[in-house]
A and B are shown apart, each in its own frame.
Chain A
Amino acid sequence: MTKSWAITEDVSRWVVILAATLLAAAILLLVHELRSRRQRSWAIFATGLLAALCVSLAAVRPVWVQARGNLVGPRVVVLVDQSRRMRLSDAGTTRLQKATDALGSISRHFQNARLSAVGFSEGTLESISLERQPLEITARGARSDLSQALRELSATPGERPRAVIVVSDGRLSRPLADLDDARLREAVGLLGVPVHSVAVTDTAPSDASIRSIRAAGVAVAHQPLAVTVEVGCDGTLPCGRIPVRIRELRDGVAAAELANGVAEMQDGVGTVELEITLDQAGGRVLEVSIDAPPGDLVPENDTRYLTFVVARDRIRLLHLAGRPTYDVRALRRWLESDESVDVVAFFILRDSEGDEPGASSLELALIHFPVDELFNEHLRSFDAIILQDIDAVKYRLSRYLARLAGYVELGGGLIMVGGPSSFAGGSYAGTPLDSILPVEQPRHDKPSDSKSFVPRYTEAGLSAAVTRPIRDLLGVALPEMAGANFLGQARPGSIVLWEHPDLSVAGQSMPVLALGEAGDGRTIALGVDSTHRLAFSPMAANVAGRAYGALWDGLLGWLMRDPRYEAARVEVVGECLEGEPETLLRVTRLPGMQGQLSLSLTQLTPEPHPEPIVRQLPASAPEPAEIAIPGLKAGGYTARVRIGEAPPSRHDFACERGGVAFADSRPDRARLEAVSRATGGMAVDLANIERLPLPAATQVSAERKVAPVAPPWVWTLASAVLLGVHWITRRNGGLP
């Protein structure tokens, strides 16, 4: 029990300050008065002092305080590094196991303290039970963010800890390595208590790793991008020159090597700058790998899989037309009007076998159709190819159709626009290009039908985002088309948007407009040559000719994976990592998309048709839908999501083996020492945990009694008496 007094119990602080100020002023006035009258009367001074003091005490009324308190152990929090890097092997065990052992030792050493343990990595802190024996700590997250952990701890309501103990290998992502002491203190000193540290290891494994991959700016399709790869090599490995390779993973075809080089190692670190060019926009999965020297103990960080989001500066199109028509005119006019489209066009203006221009080549403005140059040298530089009514045999395209199909499978876009020389009429049936188009091409004598008709929207056409712009203008109305190419059934996975009202194939209406995917690329088949009537016709005039642009905006946008024309957005929640129990995919329907959600996930492998993982959710599933996929291996993946009857949306993503967590396997004890030094804590290793100081015990009040030093009337009476005595003394001394 302790006994003390307090100047007041019930008077506010400002009254106490006012009383003290008045007391001091009264004393000063008295001294000044005595000095100015040249009197040295100690009696006057003493009585005046006592009277003023008594008046002040009467105002604040001092009290006796009796308190009964208990001493309890100090609150200490242990922050255990939970990042996946702690799974790394170390001297026959793992860093995580060593951290668990360290936590046990700390529990024993601080048995008189109120100890609690939380795990930190990235995101929120995770509580670790000290009751459960044996202790169990799970690894999670890619980073070791100590700054965030301390910030979260300081924001937690309740009693503040008297000390914090960090158990880690020291490879912290924050605070950063290059902070000076002042900035380090600012980063980790929020709690104002010592941060001790326990280093679980001091030994770097024999490991060559990809430490970091940095790109100089944003990846833009067709534009070279400098990628800097930093390689580390430690331990007993023979580190001299380490080859580095970058490949792009693709669907159904072998990965394409984009660049390779050699990292010249110096003091265990080497960097190599590689220039890559990605031709297709959207999410592209890159594999960056090194050839690690023999004896590498951590193979998980020899290969990284990264998703590069490639932007598109301008869409570069190749427009090939077999003859000039109003349909060609309408398409050219629209393509030219779009500032974001860069068109390279070749129209066949003269058939060298039949046409008679009656002039020498010098008098003609005609150049040879550079088919060899286009398809041999420049094909990959285009985002999409438009084949409009051009005969494959007559204009020597036949020999390049396999190459064109390969181009599409590697991510290119293709639109075949109808006409007498399109599809089977242009000798495309049975060619390599045939197999990647979204519809089959029946090979019969009559490749087209001349009867006029008005195309009809299918269910998919009415729900597809790709047709929304034109439906917004015209509703379900479409202009009359002067005949159509005979098209076969839609291939599996293809989507028919328009169909013929009268003609049918295999018991179903004949497709007129269909979309499909082939490998990484997309294709569109449009089996009519009269869409120019959407630009120029009485119907077109009702909407100022905008319907043509609306149709082609949608078609080209879908071909180029413009998010506006997709049915859904897919994203990976957190990281996708090999060895994790599951990967979470979040699927968000875009406005207007209704119906059952169907997700198909395939790995980006050279095999043409890998077995997909399929998940289906009903139309009533909550939004956004989160779909757990278990057991993904490292590599690239393609998630295709279909909402109702709408065309599928595609999202490519990478799944890593070690990821960022394993990028640098070296422990960093010096960082832990710097953190402890900056906060007045102590840094120790596993063998010296008992050297950590125990903070002072905390006193907790259990009972408190307050009693006035004297009743208020005593202070009042004493003040009156002392004021009277002082007055008498003054009068006797000759003071007024």
Chain B
Amino acid sequence: MAHPRFRLSRRAALAALAAAPLARAFGQDGAFHPRILLTGKRAPDPARATGATGWSWELIRRTSAPARLTVSRIAADSSELLEEPFSVWFGADAVEPLSEPEVRGLRLYLSLGGVLFVDDSNPGLGAFGRSVRRELSRVLPESPVVRLPPQHVLYKSYYLLDGPVGRVEGPPYLETIQSGKIACVILSSHDLLGALAQERGGGWTFPIESGAQDQRELAIRLAINLAMYVLCLDYKDDQVHAEELMRRRGRQRQ
């Protein structure tokens, strides 16, 4: 077994390899930035990690929100986790049990108001999802994982969506761990990063499971909504939006 200090420095070194430059232009400090969460020894799938860049790119292209295109990898036990309030934890295989510093780091991150998006790249296997749920029960033992109701603001934070889809169609719901009014952990079994990942040449890295390109567009819209939820929280639940959004929902379903 490796020495904990060695493991920490190795992850830190991995993270540093892809980290964005620290000096940012004025106005970029609060930009949306999906950072890849690192836990244990296993490095994340680099092909899917490019989905973070695709995510930022789509956000910049489609909305007024600023975003950073660089891919950052952040160790769960690093103080850098506390630099920004959004991170993505994805994978296909079961994760190793979190070390105590990782549990503490994630607990502090979530208690400060950070949002963690958990994306199962292989929901058919389900090993990643199950192991992450197991570890999250250690991080937030009092907070159960529950289904995100279909009326949740996440489905109307930018696009009006009927449900979640990614590269994989997956279940018709997302799951969440709530902290007060905020969904601090959002769990997806849809391989959302897989749908966003692009090759250097510009093509999509992974095909949509069903083969329908509409599904990729819906996956991108879900990613945009997730980003808007992170940036604006429940803004679209405000009374000033309610009547108009309800009307549009009604017309959509006609």
Contacts and interface: CB of A to CB of B under 8 A. Distances in A.
Interface of A: 322-329, 332-333, 336, 344-351, 355-359, 361-367, 389, 419-420, 448-450, 452, 481-485, 529-530, 532-533, 535-538, 540-541, 544-545
B145 interface: no
Contacts of A481: 29
A119 B215 CA distance: 93
B63 A357 contact: yes
A536 B252 contact: no
Interface string B147-174: 0000000001111100000000000000
Contacts of B160: 362-365
Nearest to A364: B159
Contact of A536 (B26, B27, B85): B85
A333 B113 contact: yes
Contact of A349 (B24, B84, B158, B244): B158
21 contacts: A323-B66, A324-B32, A324-B65, A325-B66, A325-B231, A329-B30, A336-B181, A336-B233, A349-B65, A349-B158, A350-B158, A357-B159, A363-B159, A365-B157, A419-B27, A449-B26, A450-B25, A452-B23, A529-B29, A533-B29, A545-B113
Nearest to A448: B26
A358 B65 CA distance: 16
Contacts of A358: 62, 217
Contacts of B244: 367
Contacts of B231: 324-326, 328-329
Contacts of A544: 111-112
Given A349-B228, A365-B245, A545-B112, A328 B30 contact: yes
A362 B251 contact: yes
Contacts of A351: 64
Nearest to B114: A536
B232 A347 contact: yes
A202 to B, nearest CB: 65
B213 to A, nearest CB: 12
A344 B28 contact: no
A538 B235 contact: no
A535 B82 CA distance: 10
A326 B159 contact: no
Contacts of B79: 538
A325 B65 contact: yes
A735 B241 CA distance: 118
B238 interface: yes
Given A329-B230, A332-B235, A357-B62, A529 B26 contact: yes
A328 B232 contact: yes
B29 A356 contact: no
B64 A350 contact: yes
Nearest to B108: A541
Interface string B84-95: 110000000000
B41 interface: no
B248 A362 contact: yes
Contacts of B158: 349-350, 357, 364-366
Contact of B235 (A345, A532, A536): A345
B238 A344 contact: yes
Contact of B84 (A363, A536, A541): A536
B142 interface: no
A366 to B, nearest CB: 7
Interface in B216-254: 217, 221, 228, 230-236, 238, 240-241, 244-245, 248, 251-252
Nearest to A447: B26
B78 to A, nearest CB: 10
B61 A482 contact: no
B121 to A, nearest CB: 25
